[in-house]
Every structure is written in C-alpha cells, then in structure tokens.
Structure 1
C-alpha cells in the first residue's frame, strides 16, 4: 500500500522537512472519549479538533483537524475566525456540537468518538451560497518530527507502528499532502487564495494534509491503527454504519453513567459544573490501563514547543486527587480501579516515579514523598467508606509505601510543585496521616514505631515550616507565619534559601517564601482552623498571594513564582511570571469551611474561571487583558486546560460545603490529634532530619539505615560512651536514650562508626536538652 515507487516527481511535495513541529494550544474547549472499547480520546479547541490520543491517554497523534471555508467573498479558516458556540446534550454527555457562524456561512460540526472502533467521526454541515469546505489535518504521529503522508483517494499518514486514515463518506474532490509551513494546504490558500496544489506524497518531515470535500454535509472518519491497511479498514467500517445509530450508542452509554453520579446538593449552575467536572475526570481514564488518569489531555503552551511529555502523563498526586473526588460523587469503582493501577505501577523501593506514561514507563525521575503517601491515604479512604479489598497486593503496597516514607521522610527530594527539596507542610501532612492510617497493616511493634514517628514529625512541623522572625513579621500584628517550605537541614533548614528555578536569579530566603501548603495542616486534621499561627498565615497569604479577579478570588502558588506567561503574555519557556491557580481557590475554600466562613464565593469563582466549554484550567490570567494574546483577567491562560486536579478540587469543595468535612480527613487521624500538636514520647533523630535541641522529658532515638556504634560525650569529649545500635522496625538501626538517661545532661555530642563498612562519620553532632 502507498508504494512510493508509483509516484512521479511532480507528485512529491516540495519544502521537506517543513517547519519544526509543535503541539497545539492547551486552551481546550471540550475533551471527550466513548465509554466503549474504543481507544480514542479527542480534544477540541478554538472550535476544531486538537490533539487526538491513541492508543492510550499518553499518546497524542495529531496536532489538529480543522476546516477552511471558501466562497465568493474569499476564504476563512474557522479556528482563526473564533466565531463559534459549543454545546453538549448534557454536561455528563461529552458529545460536542460546534456551530461556526460568519457573515456568509454557518458550519455545524459534531465530534463523535466511535464507541467500538478506534475512530473519531466528525459530522459536518455547511450552509451558505456558493461555498466549498476543506479539511486540514496535521499529523504528529508518535510525537515524532518525521512523518510520512499520502493523498491517494483517502488521506493517510504513517510513522513506524502508528497509522491514520482520514476518509469522507461523500469522498474528496481533491486531496493534497505537503510540508507544514512550506507546501501545506493553509499555505496554498494563503499564497494562492484557493486550493491549487494536489501533491500525492510527502515523507520524512512535518507533514500536513488537505481534502476538498465533495458535499457540503456528511461525515469524516479519522481512524488509527498499527498499519495503513488497518486504519483504512476502520475508517471504511465506521462510515458504513448509520451515524445516528453510533451517536445513540455513545449518548446512551454516557447517559447511563450519568445516572450513577451522586452530586451533593447545589444550585443548578454548580450542579452543571460538578457534572462537567466528573465527566472530565472520567474522560481522562485510560482504557487499556484501567484506573490510569493523566493530569491533562493537553500540552501547556503546546503551540510554542514540541514536548514528548506534556501533561498527558500520570502523576500519582493528581491521580489520587481525582480518585478521592470520584469517591465523593459515588464513583467508588473508579477509585478502586485507580488504587489497583497504582499498585501495579509502584516501584520496587516502595515509591512511584515522578510521572509516567499510562503503561508505567517513567518520564521524569524525581522523588516526591507526597506521591508515596497519597496511595496509602486513598486506600484508607476506600476502607473508611467500606470499599477496600484487603488483598495481599493492597497490603504489600501499603507496607512498601510506608517503609519508603519511614526510610526517606520527612524531607522530600521535591515538593508538590516539583521544584525544591526539603520540608513542606503539604508533604508533611500527607506523610504523617499515611503513617497513622496504616498501622493496622503492621505488627504491634511496627505500629508503635509508626505512631511514635508520626507524633514526632507532627510535633516538629513548626520547627521546619514556621518562622517568628521572617520578613513578613515586620509591621504586622502577627507572631509568625508558615512558609512554603524549608530546605533540608544540611542546606540551612528554615534559615536557608530556596532556589526559585523558573525565574532568573531566584534565590530567596526560605522565610521570605509564602505558599498555601500550610492549609493542609487543617484539612488533614493536624491543626485547628482557629490556631493563631494558622489564622495569621491565612491573613498573610490573603494579603500577598490573593488576587481579586472579575470572576472572583484566586491565588498565586507562591510569591516570586515564574511558572506562567511572560509579562507580555508570551508563552512560558522555562521562565516567566506565575499566574493564578483555581485549584488554590478551592484550597482556600476548604479552609473557609473549617473556619466557619462562607465558602460559596470560592466555589463560584472556580466555576467562573472556566473556558468556553466549562473546563477548569491550571492557571488564569492575573493582569489587564491582552486581546491579541487571548488573555483576560480571571480567565484561562495558556497553561494546561483542563487540569484534572482542579476539577477534583471543585468536587471536593462542593462536598465539603455540604458535609463540613474535608474528603481527606480520616477518622484515625482526627481521633489521635484532633487538630492539636502532640507531645511525642520519643523524638527521632536522623542525620536527614536532625534537631539541635530537645525537651529533657522525652526519650531520644538516634537512628540510621545501617548498623552503627554511637560515640557520645556529655562533657565535650573528656569522657565518652560507646553504644551499639539495635535493629528496629523497617530496617532502621536505633540507639534509644531514655529521658532518665539524659535527665542531667545539658548537651550531648556524638558521632558514628559504621562497623559493616569500617567507616567513621567524620563529623560531630550535638543535641541540647532544654529544661
């Protein structure tokens, strides 16, 4: 098929390889898939088809599928005209109907993922006098720059084991393939005012395809397969069926699913947003790897670069946030599938890759402690609602994840924004709650150790993340405030500096960096909403991070953030200016519920900060409008849209307003702490999380991950003691100094000898014991 030897030299498109490919804008209108066996996920933006994903949610295969209308008054590319309306039958039925209207035309489009075949059907109807319709298709197969394309009755393209076929039920009058920016269909119209090129072959480049449709109304089939023959067979088969029958099948599947939604009581407007949010999350679940939910079917600022990753990857954090949201609307089975999927992607060391394709292949390589704690919390939540299968794989997952947290916590290599190492209130909250909620999976000795460690970390949260002498204390009636995070102790701890990597010269004192992470201390039941430290910090972030937009309040991730468009609206390119995050509006709303405030304005703000199709973005614009860039205050910027995490946050806030209880709050944690700081019986000293002083009335565990001999002195090495460690839980090795043993000790200095390696730790450490 498509034997290149049959083409004459005049059939080959000029301009190889074309301009460098990119993805398309992340400003999606709608995301859709069927609930059948088909493995097609389609996104729409600017009223046309954007990336289509096949055979999983991790693999976009085309840049876009658009249309040109030509007539007596010239030609129009409809995506550039931006004169269209979007509708769906119901918010929980993602069958988008797009109506483009110009001065002399009306184009109706409906994008229908076939429930049973790997085909996207596009039903079209053009109205107007003397008009002709053309389709434009830009393959970007397997994310590779070099694709091959042919115009031979159908429009086909191939790269290795990915093939596509675009076919019309009424046929094409003419077809052409070319190289983007050089000999593609848009360039033809731009230069010649009409379709004049009919090239049959374009290989090894950034190819583009054009078809002149033989009728003003009909159906297109865009099919995907491993072979060209397979793609063509699927396209022909799909068009051989009655379109209305396929449409009814699609609608019926989604309508039946919609009946299972249990949306908390809300106004019709909020119910609509809730159903849309539930549908967005559902659309993002993979078919082959059930339970895998990617962060977004989009590439942030995709029209400016060519990124193999984008957001069409699984982040354990985002996936669990989505699963927890599905629980609150009655979709328990979805959450259970996600838990099973996460069990399947867990690493041998008990952690998870920073992010990964739906099949489990890692992409970025960072380690984030919150992404290890969250699957444990999901298991605990499913158990709390009576829907956890206590299988051996589940038990093994929890035990392995907890062991990872014990060995590596409480410091994380990366915070939740994947930028810095150290202690974050968000990560600490999740790690502590994971330890407390998992004790039933362990022996009595192991359980006691976990609770002891959790109590110690909980008591020390303020040591790591609360400052009383930071720069924001000046000229304010506050005693102190929580910071975004502190570096590792070896890097200065709370008195160190944070490298804000997405801006130039971004070194900021840790005490000068504010964030919203501390709100999870209340949300997870570790601190009370009326704790003065919490209240003071809320007032501070409301002052420093909050922006009132025309659509309501939203928040920056932290002061000095650079992850967003440049000041002129240009796309983020490794540096920029951080914009507002609707999901943080949701986090502030959760605190409002806990504090007895009215949280509805935050919910309403999230509902208004959406795109044309009701999708909640990662970020919204925070400055004056830039019409040329399509940027308006309080509306989506060029970052990811939709963001699954944001839709999950909306659903959880809606539920929290009704129940007055955060989804993540677990009974075990609430009963143990009740928002109060514990007095841990044991303080656990490790080189990764040391302390320079400790209360005299506590036991102290000196711990390491290998056997050691503790060499200590109470009188500055005039006399010394040697104590061999004992094996403890989770592979830790421990020397315990009881409060009786240290009762008369003012300061203790110590170092280590590791007998297995016959190595001294050539550094002295010290602990001062306070009365």
Structure 2
C-alpha cells in the first residue's frame, strides 16, 4: 500500500477577512456535514459538500476562508455520500466513487490548532494518480497541492488544511488517529454532561445538540450563527450580499430559539453566554437589537424587528437573570418597545420583508414585557407601565390582525400582517421576493400566529386561533409540511434555479416547505391535547435530515432543497419539541405569561 502524504498549507500570517472584493462563489448551501472541535484552541470549522470539503471557516464563524478542498483522481472529483463516522461526535465520513475507483475520507479538526485533517483510503481498478484541489475564498486561484503520487491502485494517508505557518504540518505530525480520538473525546464528554429525551431519535437528537453547540463562535462567546452556508444569491450576488450573505451572522431571533433548546437540553451556560452577547454586543444604545450582526457584534443589516428586541427579555426570564447589570440592559430594550412609534407596529416582522402589525411579533413583545416585569417586580421595583402596555396590546391583537371580511373560512382568522391595523380593509401590498403583483392583506395567512399560543398570550382553544389553524392548513399545508405564508417567494424557480431578487427580468420564485414550522405546530398540538399529532411532527422533522443528519431550512418532495443546511433553528426546534413531548407541554412557554392571561 502506497503512502499518501498531502499537506495543503495556507500561509496566512494575518487574519483572513473576505469582503466585497472576494471573487470566489461559495458552493451550494445544502451542506452534508458541519464540524469543529469542542476546544476553543481550534478556531476552525469545516463543512462538507457533495464532492468533499466545502467552505472552511477561520478565524471565526462569520469568515469563510476557503471554498473547497477536494481529492482528485486522475484530475477528476468523485461524487460523495456523507455519514456520521461516530454518532456522538462531529466526525464525518464521505464515501466517494468515480470511474473505476472508490475512496473513504474521514474528517476532523485538531483540537489544539486551526487545522482540518482528512484521512483518505482509496482503492482503484487500475493505477490512478491522486492530487488535492484547494481553492481559497480570497483571490479565486486554485491552490492545488499535488503530491503527484506514482500511479497506484491502493492508497492510505492524511492531508490537512491549516491556518498559520507550520499549522498543517504540526497537525499531521500528531497523526490522524491521535487527533481523531482527542476530537471525539471532546464531544463525548460534552454529551455525557447532558440529558436526552425519550421522545427523540437518539442519533438525530445528539447530532442536533452538537450542531447547535458548534454554531457558537470560539472567540466571541454566545455568538451563534444561523447557518454555515450561503444559499442562492447570498452566495453569488455581491450587490445583495457584499460579505457572502447573512446566514453566517448572528440573528437575535435564531439565537433565542437555539438558546431555549439548549436550556431544555441541559446546557444553560450556552444560553447565559447568548444572553450576555445579546445585551453586551448586539444591543444598541437606544435598547433595540439590530436585525443581525457579525460574531463580534458589528451590525450588518439594521432593520428594526420588535420580536428580536423582545428576545432577551424572554431569555432572561427563562434563565432567571435579574442582577443589576442585566436588568439595566433589559430595561433599555423594554423602554424601546414602549417608545417605538406606533408600537407594536414593527418595521419588519419575523420573516423580515414586511412592516406592519403582526400577531407573531405582538405575541413576542407582550410576553417579553410580562417576563421583564416579573423580573423587576421580584427585585422590588415597580413594573406597572410595562404591564399596562402588555395588557393593552394583548387585548387589541385581534382588532389589529384578525379579519372578519377576508376571503377564507371560517372567520375571523389572523393575518400574516396588516399594514394599517385594520384587518377588515382590503389594503394591498407587495409580498416581495419576486411576486409580480400586489395582494389584499386579508388573503395572506401565516402559521406564525401560533406564537400567541406558545407564549401564553392566547389559549389553544381560542375560537380565532382554531379558525386560523383551519385556514392555514387549507392554504399552506402541502406534502405534510407548511409554507411560511401565502405566495412565499423565497425559494427556487420552478425549474430549480436559485433565488435572486436582482434578475435582469422578473423571474418568479417559490418558497418551499419549512420543517421548523412542523415543530411549532407540534408545540401547539400539545397544548390542544393532541400528543399523537405532536409526536408525528417530531418524526416529520426527522424525516427531512440528509445522510449526514443535517436538518434543512426548506424541503420539497421529501428532500432538502439547496436552502440553508444545517439551519440551527430547525435543529433547535427538533430538540425543543422532543423535550416538550417528554414533559407534556412546550418547554419554552413562560408560566408568568400564562398565569396573567389564561388563569
């Protein structure tokens, strides 16, 4: 057996930062795996695509440093199938096949340094030559490190991608087996310190928790990105996304969902770091949290979404964080909610391309204010003005967002948003995302209204809630899953081309089905007394996992699309619903809100 000893060295003496000048397009966003060491001494994360390593992130999770690193056999890549090599660590193996050859490559990172290692075993029916094709993000040139082997039929060896002088060689010098055992031990130790729910598939549950833990940046505690991927135009349209798109950023909403899942899983420290990041790094001087930030807290998109400003109020309550520093920061956010013009009107609701009165946003801010009031009251402070606003908005949510004159039955039912707080008027607006015409606001529904139930603002058996469930199922349920809202355009074209909003000519795109909405529906069904259906929702989410056990943002015909994969929010929803099933009630539901409005 011939040895294969390949080293890909990136001699990056300075921090690599990919800006608008980058001229390399990322690979498709449906990643087959995502991995990193538990150790903070290893600030490097890898993703796997369909032919080998896709983007590697370094020195942080907002910075993709490489595009791809592939094994070539006679100058050509193979097609890969990915699987976990160890169910209890983020160790992955790819089985590659090409013309007369096959290979297995196992991937880990060195817990001691910024290096990715790949162990290669190859057999061929004829003598073949092996090489490594390596493409950094910066500069666009392919840095192929040939270890032109003599023609071989069998080979076994390791190659490494390292950041910093001598890093790759130092990782190789330790030996793959030593590094892989240490890498796996870090994840085993982490999982050993947590609990797991009986309702979940153990393999997918453990993978979900590890993926969530891996989305936290190592230099910026508490900064958890939405996804290590760059779907569609966010990967190639530099006008739309100068820094390779928003998914490798920190969104307060996603961070909240991930944190509540981690609390349920037993990792409260993760959630505490997240809350600190929200309040110390993301919160702006006026108290609001921006749409998203880099992992260092630098705002990128700056629209105001009131539900994201409410997120730390809710998370602090779950953590019972009421020390003076935290409460002072939370007060700035609560005061912002009260002072925002026409609140709870929001510049953007949670799907981020419409302003207006949203039942989901209103649920978040009402629950957030009640939770904050509880914290300060238990500190001996007066919270009357926060409770007065919350009570008023809770009473008015139907008047602002539930229509009695819309086109669907039964009525009244909640709308996605109203532009004017007048749900019985046929106010028209454009849905964006390549929708060609305006639409009557009364014709647009969205499963997100269930936030009202999950957060304790309305009862599961409330007549308007039950009406809207029926309307949403008729309008948005397909193939066993749900669309985000009526005529959602955030997805691929009918023939599978990528979403973009800067087409030379208008091109219709179609938002597909979101597995995370099945999790939200399951939480509602638990509250409605239908545990069997809630358990089915958990199985439906699990069915969307790819062979590497990554859960996607969107699915179609039972498979993930080229949307963001893995999506942290989807993994978080799987974890949270599993624990909710075990406990018989949604674990995220704040009891103080339930007591106030539901008795």
Equivalence for 2:349: 415
Match of 2:72 in 1: 68
Contact 1:486 1:494 in 2 (8 A): no
2:525 to 568, 581, 592: 592
CA deviation profile, 1:217-275 (whole Å, cap 9, x unmatched): 22212112xxxxxx2321222222222221111111111001122111125xx222111
Corresponding residue SS for 2:166:
helix
Tell me which residue corresponds to 1:767: none
Match of 2:565 in 1: 641
Q: Would you say 1:483 and 2:447 are equivalent positions?
A: no
1:59 to 63, 67, 89: 63
Matches within 5 A, 1:571-650: 571-574=498-501, 576-597=509-530, 598=532, 599-621=534-556, 633-650=557-574
Q: Which of 353, 365, 368 is the aligned partner of 2:290?
A: 353
Residue in structure 1 matching 2:36, options 33, 37, 50 = 33
Q: Distance in 1 between matches of 2:120 and 2:424?
A: 61
1:87 Cα deviation after fit: 2.7
Does the aligned pair in 1 maintain the 2:77–2:98 contact within 8 Å? no
Secondary structure at the aligned position of 1:123 is classed as strand
Alignment partner, residue 584 of structure 2 = 660
Q: Does the 8 Å contact 2:82/2:92 carry over to 1?
A: no
| 2:129 maps to 1:132 | yes
Aligned to 1:563: 490
Question: Residues 66 and 136 of structure 1 are in contact (CA less than 8 Å); yes or no, is this contact kept in structure 2?
Answer: yes
CA distance in 1, matches of 2:82, 2:575: 26
Q: CA deviation at 1:332?
A: 0.8
In structure 2, relative to structure 1, the CA distance for the partners of 1:303 and 1:360 (3 Å cut) is closer
Matched, 1:297 2:193: no
Pick from 457, 473, 478: which aligns with 1:547?
478
Instruction: Work out the CA distance in 2 between the residues paired with 1:137 and 1:214.
Output: 14
Q: CA deviation at 1:444?
A: 7.8
How far apart, in 2, do the equivalents of 1:322 and 1:494 lie?
37
Residue 462 (structure 1) aligned with residue 462 (structure 2): no
Name the stretch that deviates more: 390-399 or 360-369.
390-399
Q: For the aligned residues, what is the CA RMSD? A: 2.1
Q: 1:488 to 1:113 in 2, by over 3 A?
A: farther
- SS of 1:212's equivalent in the other structure is coil
Cα drift, residue 292 of structure 1? 0.5
* TM-score, normalised by the number of residues in structure 1: 0.70
Residues 424 and 442, structure 2, Cα contact 8 Å, conserved in 1: no
Q: Which residue of 2 aligns with 1:95?
A: 91
CA distance in 1, matches of 2:424, 2:109: 52
- Residue 9 of structure 1 is matched in structure 2 by none
> CA shift at 1:492, angstroms?
8.7
- The match for 1:265 is 198
SS of 1:335's partner is: helix
Q: What CA deviation, in whole Å up to 9, does each residue of 1:690-720 have, x standing for no partner?
A: xxxxxxxxxxxxxxxxxxxxxxxxxxxxxxx
Measured at CA, do residues 344 and 413 of structure 1 come closer, stay the same or move farther in structure 2, by a change above 3 Å?
A: same
Q: CA contact under 8 A between 1:125 and 1:217: conserved in structure 2?
A: yes
Cα distance in 2, alignment partners of residues 333 and 19 from structure 1: 36
Q: Distance in 1 between matches of 2:23 and 2:116?
A: 26
Q: Matches of 2:387 and 2:237 in 1, distance apart?
A: 48
CA offsets 1:588-613 (integer angstroms, 9 cap, x no match): 11111111222111111100112221
- Choose the corresponding residue for 2:597, options 640, 659, 673: 673
Counterparts of 1:218 and 1:243 in 2: how far apart (Å)?
Answer: 9
Partner in structure 2 of residue 187 of structure 1: none
Moved segments of 4+, more than 3 Å: 302-307, 442-446, 491-495
Alpha-carbon distance in 2 for matches of 1:371, 1:19: 31
By how many angstroms is 1:660 displaced? 2.1
How far is the alpha carbon of 1:303 from its aligned partner? 6.0
Give the Cα–Cα distance (whole angstroms) in 2 for the partners of residues 449 and 106 of structure 1. Answer: 68
Structure 1 residue matching 2:228: 3-state secondary structure: coil
- Residues in 2 aligned to 1:24 and 1:494: alpha-carbon distance in whole angstroms: 45
State the partner residue of 1:213.
147
> How far, CA to CA, are the matches of 1:418 and 1:250 in structure 2?
38
Residue aligning to 1:694: none
Post-superposition shift, 1:648?
A: 0.6
After TM superposition, give the deviation of residue 41 of structure 1 in Å: 0.7
Max radius of gyration: which structure?
1
Which position in structure 2 is the counterpart of 1:322?
258
Correspondence for 2:453 among 522, 529, 545: 522
1:394 lines up with 2:394 in the alignment: no
Distance between the aligned counterparts of 1:266 and 1:104, measured in 2? 44
TM (normalized to structure 2)?
Answer: 0.89
Gap runs ≥5 in structure 1: 3-17, 142-146, 148-205, 225-230, 622-632, 676-771
Say if 1:506 and 1:289 are closer, same or farther in 2 by CA, change over 3 A. farther
Counterpart Cα distance in 1 of 2:396 and 2:380: 24
Q: Which has the bigger relative contact order, CA under 8 A and spacing at least 6? A: 2
Superposed counterparts of 1:701-712, under 5 Å: none
Q: CA deviation at 1:214?
A: 4.5
Aligned to 1:274: 205
Matched ranges for 1:140-179 at <5 A: 140-141=137-138, 147=139
Answer 1 or 2: which has greater strand percent.
1
- Contact 1:556-1:581 at 8 Å conserved across structures: yes
The answer to whether the 8 Å contact 2:580/2:587 transfers is yes
8 Å Cα contact 2:404/2:424 also seen in 1: no
Pick closer, same or farther for the CA change 1:212–1:666 going to 2, 3 Å. Answer: same
Give the C-alpha shift of residue 88 in structure 1: 2.1
Tell me how far 1:652 sits from its aligned partner: 1.0
**Which residue of the other structure, out of 248, 254, 257, is the alignment partner of 1:312?**
248
> Residues 334-345 of structure 1: matches in 2 within 5 Å?
334-345=270-281
Residue 216 of structure 2 corresponds to residue 285 of structure 1: yes
d(CA) in 1 for partners of 2:429 and 2:197?
41
Match of 1:441 in 2: 376
Q: After the TM superposition, which residues 244-263 of structure 1 pair with which residues of structure 2 at under 5 Å, given as runs?
A: 244-263=177-196
Q: Shift in Å at residue 406 of structure 1?
A: 0.9
Deviation at 1:449, TM superposition (A): 1.5
**Per-residue Cα deviation, 1:11-44 (whole angstroms, up to 9, x for no partner):** xxxxxxx995311110111100101111001100
Which secondary structure state, in structure 2, belongs to the residue aligned with residue 207 of structure 1?
Answer: coil
Distance (whole Å) between structure 1 residues aligned to residue 436 and residue 82 of structure 2: 44
Distance 1:445 1:235 in 2: 56
Residue in structure 2 matched with residue 367 of structure 1 by the alignment: 304
Q: Distance in 2 between matches of 1:222 and 1:545?
A: 45
Give the aligned partner of residue 431 of structure 2.
500
The answer on 1:24 being equivalent to 2:21 is no
